[in-house]
Copies of this chain bind each other. A is one copy, B any other.
Amino acid sequence: MNQSQKPISVNLHHSGALKFGVNVDGRRIDLNSAEAMGRAFTPMELFLVALGGCTAMDVQWIMDRQRQKLDKFDMSISGVRRMEDPRYYESIDIRYSFAGPGIRKDAVERAIRLSLEKYCSVRAMVNDSVKVNITYSISNGTQDEAVYEYGK
């Protein structure tokens, strides 16, 4: 079994109420479901972190390959849940924000497209019940920051 086929394993231990301590290969993260979160996260929060992180890493990597120098790259990702059970995200908004000299719109479009259609493993597991809306902004120093809808 090579490295690629080695399973990724996570262990959860119930620690009271709806709290769980999670061990990920020796690293620790805490889950909770309620208001007083302390340093804990909810599963639905972590789902957004997983999806956003996955495509953010792809886009960073592809922009680098395209020799697009990024002085700053941020992303915001937010989701609105259904009112009925199961209360999954009926819509998710992703906004990629780039700053750097000479960043090209076509390079950004390509990076996002390759991530969402080819590379992003988390995106590939999300079904069509979830509507994903994508926008991006570019601040390249030669003009005001511009905001675009992906694919338009």
Give chain A's interface residues, CB within 8 Å of chain B: 4-5, 7-14, 18, 20, 22, 24-25, 27, 29, 31, 33, 37, 39-54, 56-57, 60-61, 70, 72-81, 83, 85-89, 93, 118-130
B53 lies within 8 A of A31 (CB): yes
User: Who on chain B is nearest to A28 by CB?
Assistant: B39
Q: Indicate if the CB atoms of A8 and B50 lie closer than 8 Å.
A: no
Q: Which residues of B contact A20 (CB under 8 A)?
A: 53, 56-57, 75
In angstroms, Cα B31 to Cα A22, docked, is: 16
Can you tell how many copies of this chain the complex includes? 2
The residue of chain B having its C-beta at the shortest distance from the C-beta of A75 within the complex is: B12
Q: List, in ascending order, chain B residues with CB within 8 A of A27's CB.
A: 37, 39-41
A123 touches which one: B52, B76, B86 (CB < 8 A)?
B86
A86 & B121 in contact (Cβ 8 Å cutoff):
yes
Report whether A53 and B127 are in contact in the complex, using a CB–CB cutoff of 8 Å: no
- Assess whether B29 is in contact with A49, with CB atoms less than 8 Å apart: yes
Task: Check if A14 sits within 8 Å of B48, measured CB to CB.
Answer: no
Let me know if B74 and A49 touch, CB within 8 A: no
Minimal beta-carbon separation of A89 from chain B (angstroms)? 7
Are A122 and B44 neighbours in the complex by a CB distance under 8 Å? yes
| Further 9 A-B residue pairs, CB within 8 A, beyond A27-B37, A29-B49, A85-B119 | A8-B48, A8-B79, A10-B45, A13-B74, A25-B45, A31-B56, A31-B57, A125-B130, A127-B128
